[in-house]
Amino acid sequence: MKDIAVVTGASGGIGRAVAKAIHEKSEGEIRVCLHCRGNQKSAEALRVEIPESFVVSADLSSAAGREALLDAVMKEGTPYILVNNAGVDKPHEPALQIEDASFDAIIGVNLKSPALLMRDFGKEMAASGSGVIVNVSSVLARTALVGSALYRASKAALEALTKQFAAELGPRGVRVNAVAPGFIQTPMTDSIAPEIKGKILSQIALGDFGAPEAVAQAVCHFIENDYLNGAILNVDGGMGL
């Protein structure tokens, strides 16, 4: 059985590009598991484009959803790559208006899910003696933007966990790194109001939002370079320099 690359949120903008790039770089040597939550149509369309890939639909904010993903992957082969990409950025609440429920909504998907998937897939990778985990963080982990307090907290903690898992799993043959995109053209950023987009663009040295493929290239770099561990790479066109 072939080794498997699991891409969570492959139904979204960045996940789709990452899944395609891993397939192309591996020249078909690795099977890609395309995870989605609700947008099965998008994941199924991608499955047609990527030979031997398979779709798993699961809500990763629940233990049952995470277990379903692990079970489905273990039935197909050995997990070698995990890209923790699924994430949400809403609700956008100014700091003094944060709702209790927003913690579950944002922290559950952006932090608890990748943390527990690192634990569960990390155990399988350590048992097989090799693996690579790439977490998708955000430059907002280190920047204040009104309305992004919980999002920022979730990504900052994910970066801390990236280093912690890198330290504990490195000796067992598993590397853990993170990419931190700036503003990337995906469904997540489609709804940004023009006046806010204008302000953001003025902060980006390259003057435009990035393509999902730029993030996918950085993910592949972490997969290929076997001396990268515990690193965080900004992919942001030079934001806030």
- Is 66 among the residues that bind ligand NAP (CB under 6 A)? no
CB of 213 within 8 A of CB of 15? no
The structure tokens listed for 222 are: 């972490």
9 binds ligand NAP (CB under 6 A): yes
By CB under 6 A, tell whether 214 contacts ligand NAP: no
Which residues are catalytic, by number?
Answer: 151
C-alpha pair distances (Å), 56 with each of 31, 75, 86 = 13, 12, 13
Angstrom distance (rounded) from CA 111 to CA 156 = 9
Query: C-beta of 109: minimal distance to ligand NAP in Å?
Result: 4
Spatial CA neighbour of 182 closest among 158, 146, 206: 206
Least Å distance, CB 89 to ligand NAP, is 6
Shortest reach from residue 237's CB to ligand NAP, in Å = 11
* Contact with ligand NAP (CB under 6 A) among 26, 53, 162, 186: 186
The closest alpha carbon to 132, from 20, 3, 1, belongs to 3
Q: Which stretch binds ligand NAP (CB under 6 A): 13-21, 47-55, 159-167, 217-225?
A: 13-21
Count of C-beta atoms within a 10 Å radius of residue 192: 14
- Please identify, using beta-carbon distances, which residue of 80 and 183 lies nearer to ligand NAP: 183
**Rounded to 5°, angle at Cα 179 from 127 and 122:** 10
Give the footprint of ligand NAP on residues 111-170 (CB under 6 A).
Answer: 136, 138
Q: Tokens 């998907």 — which residue?
A: 109
Instruction: Work out which of 6, 13, 204, 220 binds ligand NAP, going by CB under 6 A.
Output: 13
Which residues contact ligand NAP by CB under 6 A?
9, 11-15, 36-39, 59-61, 85-89, 109, 136, 138, 181, 183-184, 186-189
